Structure 1
Amino acid sequence: MHLQQPHLCLGHCPHGVTCDPTAVTCCHLSHRSFHPPSPCAGSAWGRGMLSVWVGTQGRDSPCSGSPWWMVAHGAVTELCAGSSPEPGISAIHAGSQLQGTPAVPRQSRRRKSVAIAYEAGQGEGAEARWEPPRWREQLQRIRQMRSGRDAPVDEMGVHRCYDTSAPPEVRRYQVLLALMLSSQTKDQVTSAAMLRLRRRGLTVDSVLQMDEESLGHIIYPVGFWRNKVKYIKQTTAILKQKYGGDIPSTVEELVQLPGVGPKMAHLAMHIAWDSVAGIAVDTHVHRISNRLQWVKKETKSPEQTRVALEQWLPRDLWKEINWLLVGFGQQTCLPVSPRCSQCLNQDICPAAKRP
């Protein structure tokens, strides 16, 4: 492999070989790996500058024999026309120059559009991670408002609905059933339905032995109770056959169960498995996140909100945020006629109604 410009290396090769600046070949070019932003640790390539590889057509080319060239002394020549050696590459035109460096003319080849790779996060256009302004202050004030722990979710939420004295796999099954019942249902109604089921001995086997009519009579009046009867029977059969009566231990498997969505899956991981795989976003978390503008742009569904929140919210807050915002949404930031006058965030909430 031959250099088009003999003085590319100005120091020591990262592989431990001293490069001869007068030689025709350069030691580092015998190595196939791509090391942005500088192929040689001692060379004069600054942070964020273009990396260089020089090759000849058909010899050690990463582009299956196509001509590939890089930057030598500031002049961009030709690099893998039509392809690139690394992902995340943007295109510039051959002949572009680094500031303050003279172009080296090419005599025998037409200049083509080329692709130049930047090290991730080092280009001038690298974007800093977005986060909403004053979110920490808003969060702390919500914690203060929730310090009484007296919202319906605190007293009758899913974490209160299972038998703490039951075997671990039974407790996890009861958590999952409570989550399935809680969809589109007030906590008070879910809690009462779970209490009736537990009085019958709420296990995988007891539900499998129960006919749909009896099950429907017990869980009524939870929202969409007829559909939930079918989902509960189907899911329970799958748990018996595939998981030995326990519930899956991953979000990916949980959402495959009939009647189990992403919010339920993440809460099941939190409560049943004491594991945080993501943020559980229900209608309260979705609504409040948009009102506080905790999403970069407005989201249309809880799942979109989950993705948006996980892009910036520190992971150690993922479990707490559901509990905080659900209770806050039940007591203060109501769906209709929110109680802004009682909210400590009134002066810093973008959606607040101010006197």
Structure 2
Amino acid sequence: MHAIRITEPGGPEVLAWSEVPDPILQEGEVLVDVAATAVNRADVSQRQGAYPPPPGASEYPGLECSGSIVELGPGVEGWSVGDQVCALLSGGGYAERVAVPAGQLLPIPEGVGLVEAAALPEVACTVWSNLVMVGGLKAGETVLVHGGGSGIGTFAIQFARALGARVAVTAGSREKLERCRELGAEITIDYRTEDFTERVRAEGGADLVLDIMGGSYLDGNLRSLATNGRLVIIGLMGGRRSEIDLGRMLAKRLSVQATTLRSRPAPEKAMIVSGVLEQVWPLVEDGSIRPVVDRTLPLRDAAEAHRVMESSAHTGKILLSR
């Protein structure tokens, strides 16, 4: 088979279409013939040498895919050869075939195309696990989502609205902010020209902040939170270190949690996938949530897709199709 290899740490040019060995199925895995995958910020970090795959994961980038099951490994039940699926991966999506633990498979939601479905697993699992499982978002609360025009952001807006929450977002262009409003964001903040902290505080504060920036936004996020607010950090685009005002946290009874999805063990991922199937898939199938796809490029053009990702010129997901 063929896959996109990272030949050495570096820019998009180090991504090479190469002939590689087929995956070998382990107990409880299935082999998926990949129809499409999606580009995530984690793929860019891996390409740059800053985010190696967890032990035992495929060395090829790609944290989600859609396709068809072509082989069942030992001990797999409930799935059949020929089933069309999408999947949460620890790596390996930028390939013609990938081995997937059966617990990380999801059926294609009704009304979503096979290629389009590749836009869903990573964002659905990230958003559900952090807004609901970790953040405890409830109807009537206000959630601040940084990077509202991203794949995670566009999904989080729709999901939070479906839960009955009020959504505030930050983004860096008029076009992205307008798209966020179309998806259901009530408070839209251009981070280039406006202090998000002051704006959110003027709106009554946030009960929950979903943050991709890390260090550079820590103080502003804490000041944005209402009493009993929760900050969930899922990315470090703004650095990994910052000072924290514990007095503010004590006075307002705030909490800070930081999570990753990729490095979670398979049983935890299976639990998250199960929660997504139960609580998120019905919202996709009834149209409350739709995949937001900026563009679809051939898998061989992964380098171009990474250039688009790094330019932040996209809104929603960038897909790579076979």
TM-score tier, shorter chain, comes to under 0.3
TM-score (norm 2): 0.24
Q: Give the helix-richer structure, 1 or 2.
A: 1
- Which structure is richer in relative contact order (CA contacts within 8 A, separation 6 or more)? 2
TM-score (norm 1): 0.22
Q: Give the strand-richer structure, 1 or 2.
A: 2
